[in-house]
Amino acid sequence: MANTHSKSYEITTPQRVAFLGLGVMGYPMAGHLALAGHQVTVYNRTPAKAQTWCDEFERTAAPQQAATPRLAVQDADFVFACVGNDDDLRSITLGSEGAFSGMKPGAIFVDHTTASAQVARELYAAALTQGLHFIDAPVSGGQAGAQNGVLTVMCGGDALAFEAARSVTMAFSRAVTHLGASGSGQLAKMVNQICVAGVIQGLAEGIAFGKQAGLDMSQVLDVISKGAAQSWQMENRGKTMVVDQFDFGFAVDWMRKDLGLLLDEARRNGARLPVTALLDQFYADVQQMGGQRWDTSSLIKRLK
């Protein structure tokens, strides 16, 4: 994976860890754990992907794969997961072959899935009944952040469990922050996505306006990125939006999943999100244009 092998790691005591889910994010995250010296056992629904991961990291501390989540976690002090949604998360944690049935008492489950705050609280409570700890810990930084080991991690759950897991989590992160009780990490990720979507739409409209006015938008972006309009999206996606390049990781389908989660939460807590609700429909338009796998900066396609 790009840049996975160039990160500098904090010196920590090697731990026995498991990683469940080797998708676009999980594969490099698990790799950073192995490269940091931890003994990693992986599980993936497609066993061939787990074998490929083990082959890539065979020179680290004896990587292994397991056939089920329960088998993957049996010796682990820390279990990490990154899967698709609430149902996927329940499928790897609950039931006779789920992780909770195999974890040893006192072990800590750190979930990096972007999921609902409700499922985080549900699994936190289920873990407690079995003498386990559960931290909801969604991430920001996208595929590049996972590959480079510089993710931002937003955590909810018990402070002592968070402190125990923080140093291990730093293997693939640049910031790991405890934000409060169970569910707080997922709620913070929702705030992140609200802000990201709004910035992308503003950037899209600015670029579309400038091009219509006959400006050299590459030059304009160089200028305004040094002023109050500056943002991560402008620095990293502005010029690619100008030239219709939309293959940079975080897909429209994933953003719509995240927006659905936060709009559901807003209906529960009474928050008013008129712009975000509109942007959810704009992303639906992009899906209808065939852009399900385009990255989220493709909002500009609606304006052309």
Q: Which of 189, 226, 239, 304 is catalytic?
A: 189
End-to-end CA distance of the chain: 34
Angle subtended at Cα 33 by Cα 79 and Cα 103, rounded to the nearest 5 degrees = 15
Which 8-state DSSP code applies to residue 293? Answer: T
Residue 265 CB contacts under 8 Å (≥ 6 apart), including other chains: 116, 117, 187, 190, 271
Helix (H/G/I), strand (E/B), else coil: 36: coil
Torsion, Cα of 300, 301, 303, 304 (10° steps): 130
Closest of 195, 207, 187 to residue 298, by C-alpha: 207
* Catalytic residue check, 239: no
Query: What residues pair up with 64 in beta bridges, in sequence order?
Result: 41
Which residues are known to be catalytic?
189
